[in-house]
Structure 1
Amino acid sequence: MKHWFLFFFLNLFFLQVFGADKTFRFHLFEEPATLDPIALDGIELNYVISNLFRGLYRYDERGRLRPEGAKRCQWKNSQILECHLNPQFKWSDGTRVVADDYVRSFTRIIDPAIASVHARLLMTLKNAKKIQTGQRKPNELGIKAITSEILRFELEVPDSDLEYKLAASALVPLPPDVPTKDHPSAPSKFCGPYVLSQWQRGKSMMLEPNIHYFGGNPKRPKLEIFFVSEDSAALHLFETGRISFLRRLPAALIPAYKTKKEFFLTPLSRFDYIGFSPSIKSKDLKFALSRAADFEEFKRAFSASGRPGCPGFPESFVDKWPCIDFDPKLAKTKMSGEQKKLTFALSAQGGDDLRRVAEWYQGQWKKHLGIETEIQLLEPGVYRNSLETRPADVFRYGFSLDRPTCLAAIEGFTRGHKDNFVKFDDVDFEKLIVNLQKEKRQSERKILCRKGVELLINRAGIIPQGRIHFAMLRSAEFEGWHINELNQMDLSQLHPVDSQVSGPTSDKN
């Protein structure tokens, strides 16, 4: 009955707004509270921000760093990067984006009074750590406008990830009228392929092409973004032609859709894992749980391409693939005495797929170890608070990487990191992270990456959840759109087509 009323309401709403125009429509599961890039936390806002703002670089669907706001960047030495800005890169009012716009943005991110979660991306810049502790002022950050067209970054320590960090959706220039507490929604101008034209709170937002964005397809359409929280409701909208793109198809429906022309899988670089509360002291228990799940059976049950037990990033990150193998006999030898029932928490935001994953592990641990688990499905805010204060015995957590590097995947397990919910504190791991940050040779980075994951498996006890492939549906009415492995959508080349052939990488520009 609940779903019937939801469908009825959505049909009435969409009949009012949907016409024969060539507007590209998609949905978000949550309505963003703001369009301030530094408030970016998760994929929802990213889908919008990456098309309203662009930074010095963009990471494309083929795994390449592409200049946007930068004409070129070059290293002067191991700790100074100098970027010459692109003179064609302009705000939506036609004025040029200048070096001071980047300085304004980055010093705002590092300001401890703002408390941005993205300050961690800038911590290798000169004075960044001292600014965070109040020993220096934000305007003393190691970023300088040498001229209006030249931007210089000065590092405290070498950072092999810096140029990838500069492609992050949060590290974009901002105009003087940045969002504030009094005006939280959005600035008055943008530098991406689109601009915000309308925002109906609780319903939708409309984006129009930014006529001053260089290099965009001149035929790119308007965008309409709806806020729909349930997978079933979003699928109904796609099936009835109300939206052009479905961001997530539940795994249970993949067999029914995988032969349809609208269906495609996109591999993502993520780090999803099952972790254990710091209150679980037994290393043997963690070991037993990690070896008592038949990961090949998981692949069959969920039509999964990646295998749990292995990390969720590409194999190219490592020299050898570090994985956990199913070994129920060995797992049983680690068990001693009767084990209490374990609580297993996960976020309700993951929908039916995550609930089914939790139930699958629940069944595996009961079957192979005789351990009972109680599943707790929590609202996102409640879940996050529980992870930070008192995690369940077992929990599932995951995130999309903000850059395509191993460091982005495993640095969250360092001492004191806000996302280190397992409270991992290991001297060898801390040293490895420092070395990985400095190392520029790819062969050595691969070795360090593999060793880092092995430490997380063997000492932190985590169970990596494998490479995640999102199942999506797309309309054949549009092409030229792209989704990269970081789950960032680029609509700069989007345009309607007359033919019935389309796809995420059909545009070759």
Structure 2
Amino acid sequence: MTIDKGWLASILGVLSLTAVSVQAAVVPAGVQLADKQELVRANGSEPASLDPHKVESDVEGNLIHDFFEKLVSVRDDGSVMPGLADRWENKDNQVWTFHLRPGLKWSDGSPITADDVVFSWQRLVDPKTLSPYQTYVSSMHVLNAADIIDGKKSPQELGIKALDKQTVQVTLDQPLSYFLPMVDHYVMITVPKAAIEKFGDKWTQTANFVGSGPFIPSEWVVNERITAKRNPNYWDNAHTVLNKVTYLVIVSNTAEVNRYKAGEVDATYTMPNQLFKSLKEELPNEVKVTPYLSTYLYRFNTQKPPFNDARVRRALDLALDKSVIADKVLGQGQVPAYNYVPRGMAGYTSNQPEWAAWTQQQRNAEAKKLLKEAGYDDSHPLKFQLLYNTSESHQKIAIAAASMWKQNLGAEATLLNQEWKTLLDTSRTGNFEVVRSSWGADYNEPTTYFDTLRTNDSNNTGKFNDKAYDEVLDKAVKASSLDDRSKLYHQAEAILQQQMPLIPIYYYVRSQMVKPYVGGFQPDLKGDYYSKDIYIIKH
């Protein structure tokens, strides 16, 4: 999907913004609501945590979006919507001031203040927090963030301060025109200072939980479900329709569909590839397919042989027939990927590598050549382990990839699978050779992808290290126009095409089944939908 350049342009020139409307459930005239306003949504794996500073996937993001309110939100069309902050202004895109709504309350009735916001940002960058997203704040160029992460300065020296109980000021180390879109991420959510100081890591247990969103968790049955109730202290509670949301842990795609058909699930998390065609024929009005900004990939550990050799990495990329994976193994509208940055990124179009237009036979020939140069052939085949998290679709893709590598290169991939939480830990510790991964846009600007491969980025679990790449991105941040940035992004992309620290396999679509009585369901370009927008139609 091509997005109008106005998405970012609407933000770039803004010096002061006051929004007058908010995103909430909008029930069309004439729609009769059900007496029972309860939603059951499948949510994939068991969440690793409900602490916004300790998570990194959409499994947790779906919950956090419902349990907390952001300072601001940015819609697909680029409009900036108020959250905890009802107005804001900036000076030269470098000093940003947010004014909190009067009367904001946590779910326990205590006031939400500017001190909570300051505490949250300081906690995120504090090395003791061990957040997988701590370098996100340095990517936002918040003053002193990088030095704090490196242990050179204290979290209290971060460029954020409370001017009074309702006003927060953030100072950057340089102007950043896309700062507001970066604030629109669940990791930047304000967390409850008092609850964290009182309960420590146990603050996310349901008995201790304090949130700011339209719902709060009331029950957590591990590996089964999280149940949430409406938060009467939510500032926009008057526009919330649902009274209860249940998030089911269902790892098996087939089991998910079976429970949907049995009436136990109102909206699925995903769909099994092998049933997609039949379900679309059987229930065409209940199958929802929406594109979103996310890339499915295999990540290399670039610090360990044999994948410290770019020739080996490029060979494995070339030998994968991505069209077969997208069209045959999956077949839900996924698009073969030859670049890390997906299509549809605001104001940016990737330059396709020349091999994107080659036949698969041409790619295989080049792959064999590269692998031979690296010292591998039939008498000395490449052998490695491919790790993926437990899922029917991930398993099918891994089997297909291993078969292609064997057939096209003679390479032998041993397949290993782990549960989601375990795989995240394995990736963070670098105890892998090749691991299944993905990256969804945190905000609609190419740096949401490029920055994750910077040398010291906390999401760079493959430990890719390229000085020229880092320098190009440093220049891009300082570029004054989108066109100038795009030229530098193309240079960064060219480096990735040659170094291949990861294999982009396909660009996602979100395939879900949704009951016809679920109103307000409309995922955004990040693949997210919010329970506060949902209502149940009488049926």
- The TM tier, using the shorter chain, reads 0.7 to 0.9
Q: Determine helix, strand or coil for the equivalent of 1:247.
A: coil
- 2:526 corresponding residue in structure 1: 486
The answer on whether the counterparts of 1:107 and 1:141 sit within 8 Å (CA) in structure 2 is: yes
- 1:433 corresponding residue in structure 2: 473
Structure 1 stretch displaced more, 382-391 or 201-210? 382-391
- 1:366 corresponding residue in structure 2: 406
For residues 95 and 478 of structure 2, the distance between their equivalents in structure 1, rounded to whole angstroms, comes to: 14
Q: Determine helix, strand or coil for the equivalent of 1:113.
A: helix
Q: CA deviation at 1:428?
A: 1.3
- 2:15 corresponding residue in structure 1: none
For residues 402 and 202 of structure 2, the distance between their equivalents in structure 1, rounded to whole angstroms, comes to: 47
Q: Out of 290, 298, 302, which is 1:274 matched to?
A: 298
- 1:319 corresponding residue in structure 2: 349
Q: Determine helix, strand or coil for the equivalent of 1:116.
A: coil
1:123-170: CA deviation from partner (whole Å, max 9, x where unpaired): 222222333344433222211111222210011233344212211112
Q: Determine helix, strand or coil for the equivalent of 1:418.
A: coil
Q: Which amino acid aligns with 2:63?
A: V
- 1:231 corresponding residue in structure 2: 253
For residues 210 and 427 of structure 2, the distance between their equivalents in structure 1, rounded to whole angstroms, comes to: 37
Q: CA deviation at 1:214?
A: 4.0
- 2:219 corresponding residue in structure 1: 198
For residues 507 and 448 of structure 2, the distance between their equivalents in structure 1, rounded to whole angstroms, comes to: 15
For residues 157 and 415 of structure 2, the distance between their equivalents in structure 1, rounded to whole angstroms, comes to: 48
For residues 386 and 366 of structure 2, the distance between their equivalents in structure 1, rounded to whole angstroms, comes to: 26
Task: State whether structure 2 residue 156 is matched by structure 1 residue 139.
Answer: yes
The answer on whether the counterparts of 2:286 and 2:516 sit within 8 Å (CA) in structure 1 is: yes
Q: Out of 97, 105, 112, which is 1:97 matched to?
A: 112
Structure 1 stretch displaced more, 128-137 or 257-266? 128-137
Q: Which amino acid aligns with 2:256?
A: A
Q: Out of 251, 254, 260, which is 2:276 matched to?
A: 254
Task: State whether structure 2 residue 130 is matched by structure 1 residue 115.
Answer: yes
For residues 131 and 144 of structure 1, the distance between their equivalents in structure 2, rounded to whole angstroms, comes to: 16
Q: Out of 286, 303, 308, which is 2:313 matched to?
A: 286
Q: Determine helix, strand or coil for the equivalent of 2:228.
A: strand
Give the length in aligned residue pairs: 480
Q: Out of 180, 192, 208, which is 1:163 matched to?
A: 180
TM-score (norm 2): 0.81
Q: Out of 494, 498, 505, which is 2:538 matched to?
A: 498
Q: CA deviation at 1:384?
A: 4.1
Task: State whether structure 2 residue 53 is matched by structure 1 residue 38.
Answer: yes
- 1:83 corresponding residue in structure 2: 98
Aligned pairs for 1:411-450 within 5 A: 411-439=451-479, 441-450=481-490
After superposition, the Cα gap between the structure-2 partners of 1:463 and 1:221, relative to the gap in structure 1 and judged at 3 Å, is same
For residues 106 and 319 of structure 1, the distance between their equivalents in structure 2, rounded to whole angstroms, comes to: 33
The answer on whether the counterparts of 1:424 and 1:460 sit within 8 Å (CA) in structure 2 is: no
The answer on whether the counterparts of 1:85 and 1:99 sit within 8 Å (CA) in structure 2 is: yes
Q: Out of 301, 306, 318, which is 2:335 matched to?
A: 306
After superposition, the Cα gap between the structure-2 partners of 1:427 and 1:285, relative to the gap in structure 1 and judged at 3 Å, is same
Structure 1 stretch displaced more, 101-110 or 90-99? 90-99
For residues 413 and 497 of structure 1, the distance between their equivalents in structure 2, rounded to whole angstroms, comes to: 45
The answer on whether the counterparts of 2:291 and 2:525 sit within 8 Å (CA) in structure 1 is: yes
Q: Which amino acid aligns with 1:314?
A: R
Cα RMSD over matched residues? Answer: 2.8
Q: Out of 65, 70, 73, which is 1:50 matched to?
A: 65
Q: Out of 150, 155, 167, which is 1:150 matched to?
A: 167
The answer on whether the counterparts of 1:413 and 1:419 sit within 8 Å (CA) in structure 2 is: yes
After superposition, the Cα gap between the structure-2 partners of 1:224 and 1:267, relative to the gap in structure 1 and judged at 3 Å, is same
Aligned pairs for 1:169-180 within 5 A: 169-175=186-192, 176-178=194-196, 179-180=199-200
The answer on whether the counterparts of 2:441 and 2:449 sit within 8 Å (CA) in structure 1 is: yes
Q: Out of 366, 376, 383, which is 1:342 matched to?
A: 383
Q: Which amino acid aligns with 2:38?
A: T
The answer on whether the counterparts of 2:240 and 2:532 sit within 8 Å (CA) in structure 1 is: no
Q: Which amino acid aligns with 2:336?
A: R
Q: CA deviation at 1:35?
A: 2.6
After superposition, the Cα gap between the structure-2 partners of 1:367 and 1:111, relative to the gap in structure 1 and judged at 3 Å, is closer
Q: Determine helix, strand or coil for the equivalent of 2:148.
A: helix
The answer on whether the counterparts of 1:82 and 1:151 sit within 8 Å (CA) in structure 2 is: yes
- 1:6 corresponding residue in structure 2: none
Q: Out of 242, 245, 269, which is 2:264 matched to?
A: 242
The answer on whether the counterparts of 1:284 and 1:335 sit within 8 Å (CA) in structure 2 is: yes
Moved over 6 A (4+): none
Task: State whether structure 2 residue 487 is matched by structure 1 residue 453.
Answer: no
1:411-445: CA deviation from partner (whole Å, max 9, x where unpaired): 12111333334432212101122123333522223
Gaps of 5+ in 2: 1-33
For residues 403 and 490 of structure 1, the distance between their equivalents in structure 2, rounded to whole angstroms, comes to: 16
The answer on whether the counterparts of 1:322 and 1:454 sit within 8 Å (CA) in structure 2 is: no
Q: Determine helix, strand or coil for the equivalent of 1:117.
A: coil
For residues 200 and 235 of structure 2, the distance between their equivalents in structure 1, rounded to whole angstroms, comes to: 28
